[in-house]
A and B are shown apart, each in its own frame.
Chain A
Amino acid sequence: MTALAGATGARSAATATPPALHVHDVTVRYGEAEVLQRVSFDLETGAFLAIVGPNGSGKSTLVKVALGLVRPTRGHAALFGKDAGAHPERIGYVPQLKTFDRTFPATSVELVVTGVRRRWPVRATRSERDLAHAALDDVGAGRLADRALSKLSGGELQRVYLARALVRRPAIVLLDEPATGVDFLAEHDLYDLLERYQGESGATIAMVTHDLAAARYHANRVLVINRRVHGYGLPEDVLCEPCLQEAFGHVGHTHAVAF
Chain B
Amino acid sequence: MTDLADLLELLRYPFMQRAIAAGLLIAVMCALLGVFVVQRRLSFLGDGLAHASFGGMGIGTFVIVASGLFEGGAAVFRNPLVIAVPFALLTGLAIAWTRDRTQLSSDTAIGVFFAVSVALGVLFFSAVPPDVNIGFNVMDILFGSILAVRQTELTVIAVTATFAVVALGWSWSALGYATFDEELARTDGVPTKALEYGLFGLAAVVVAVSAVVVGIILMAAYLVIPAAAARLWARSLASMTLFAVVIGTTTTVAGVLASFLFDVPTGAAIILSQAIVFLVAALAPRR
Q: Do A and B share a complex?
A: yes
A residues neighboring B (CB under 8 Å):
67-69, 85, 88, 91, 93, 95, 99-101, 103-107, 110-111, 114, 117-123, 148
Residue from A67, A93, A106 within 8 A of B180 (CB atoms): A106
Report the minimum CB–CB distance from A98 to chain B (whole Å). 11
Report the minimum CB–CB distance from A167 to chain B (whole Å). 12
A176 to B, closest residue via Cβ: B183
A95→B177 contact, CB < 8 A? no
With A122-B172, A122-B173: A114-B235 Cβ-Cβ less than 8 Å: no
A122 to B, closest residue via Cβ: B238
A117 to B, closest residue via Cβ: B173
| Chain A residues with CB below 8 A from B173, complex form | 117, 119-122
Residue from A85, A107, A117 within 8 A of B236 (CB atoms): A107
B237→A105 contact, CB < 8 A? yes
Report the minimum CB–CB distance from B123 to chain A (whole Å). 38
B240→A88 contact, CB < 8 A? no
Besides A88-B189, A111-B180, A120-B179, 18 new A-B residue pairs in contact (Cβ under 8 A), listed by A number? A93-B184, A93-B187, A95-B183, A95-B184, A99-B183, A100-B181, A103-B39, A104-B39, A105-B231, A105-B235, A105-B237, A110-B236, A114-B188, A118-B189, A119-B173, A120-B173, A120-B175, A121-B238
Most A-side CB within 10 Å, residue of B172, B173, B175: B173
| Chain B residues with CB below 8 A from A69, complex form | 183, 186-187
Interface size on B, residues (CB 8 A): 25
Most A-side CB within 10 Å, residue of B174, B187, B188, B189: B187
Bound-state CA distance A99–B179 (Å) is 11
B180→A95 contact, CB < 8 A? no
Q: Which residues B159-189 have CB closer than 8 A to chain A?
A: 172-177, 179-181, 183-184, 186-189
9 closest cross-chain pairs (CB), A and B: A120-B176, A119-B173, A118-B188, A120-B177, A105-B234, A122-B238, A120-B173, A93-B187, A67-B187
A104→B184 contact, CB < 8 A? no
Most B-side CB within 10 Å, residue of A110, A111, A118, A123: A118
| Chain B residues with CB below 8 A from A103, complex form | 39, 231
A105→B239 contact, CB < 8 A? yes
Report the minimum CB–CB distance from B226 to chain A (whole Å). 15
| Chain A residues with CB below 8 A from B234, complex form | 105
Bound-state CA distance A104–B85 (Å) is 31
| Chain A residues with CB below 8 A from B237, complex form | 104-106, 120
B237 to A, closest residue via Cβ: A105
A123→B184 contact, CB < 8 A? no
| Chain B residues with CB below 8 A from A111, complex form | 180
* B190 interfacial contact with A, CB 8 Å: yes
- A-B pair number, CB within 8 angstroms: 74
Residue from B39, B172, B238 within 8 A of A101 (CB atoms): B39
A104→B180 contact, CB < 8 A? yes
Report the minimum CB–CB distance from B101 to chain A (whole Å). 12
| Chain A residues with CB below 8 A from B177, complex form | 114, 118-120
Residue from A91, A104, A110, A119 within 8 A of B190 (CB atoms): A119
| Chain A residues with CB below 8 A from B179, complex form | 101, 104, 120
B40 to A, closest residue via Cβ: A101
B181→A95 contact, CB < 8 A? yes
Bound-state CA distance A85–B189 (Å) is 8
27 contacts between A and B (CB under 8 A): A68-B187, A69-B187, A85-B189, A88-B188, A93-B184, A95-B183, A99-B184, A101-B179, A104-B39, A104-B237, A105-B235, A105-B236, A105-B237, A106-B180, A106-B236, A106-B237, A107-B235, A114-B177, A118-B190, A119-B188, A120-B175, A120-B177, A120-B180, A120-B237, A122-B238, A123-B238, A148-B235
Bound-state CA distance A104–B176 (Å) is 10
Report the minimum CB–CB distance from A103 to chain B (whole Å). 7
Per-residue contact bits, chain B 76-98, to A (CB 8 Å; 1 contact, 0 not): 00000000000000000000000
A121 to B, closest residue via Cβ: B173
Bound-state CA distance A89–B278 (Å) is 41
Bound-state CA distance A22–B238 (Å) is 40
Most B-side CB within 10 Å, residue of A69, A107, A114: A114
Per-residue contact bits, chain B 181-208, to A (CB 8 Å; 1 contact, 0 not): 1011011111000000000000000000
Q: Which residues B226-253 have CB closer than 8 A to chain A?
A: 231, 234-240
B242 to A, closest residue via Cβ: A122
B234 to A, closest residue via Cβ: A105
Report the minimum CB–CB distance from A65 to chain B (whole Å). 12
With A88-B188, A99-B183, A148-B235: A105-B174 Cβ-Cβ less than 8 Å: no
Report the minimum CB–CB distance from B79 to chain A (whole Å). 36
A105→B190 contact, CB < 8 A? no
Report the minimum CB–CB distance from A180 to chain B (whole Å). 15
| Chain B residues with CB below 8 A from A121, complex form | 173, 238
| Chain A residues with CB below 8 A from B238, complex form | 121-123
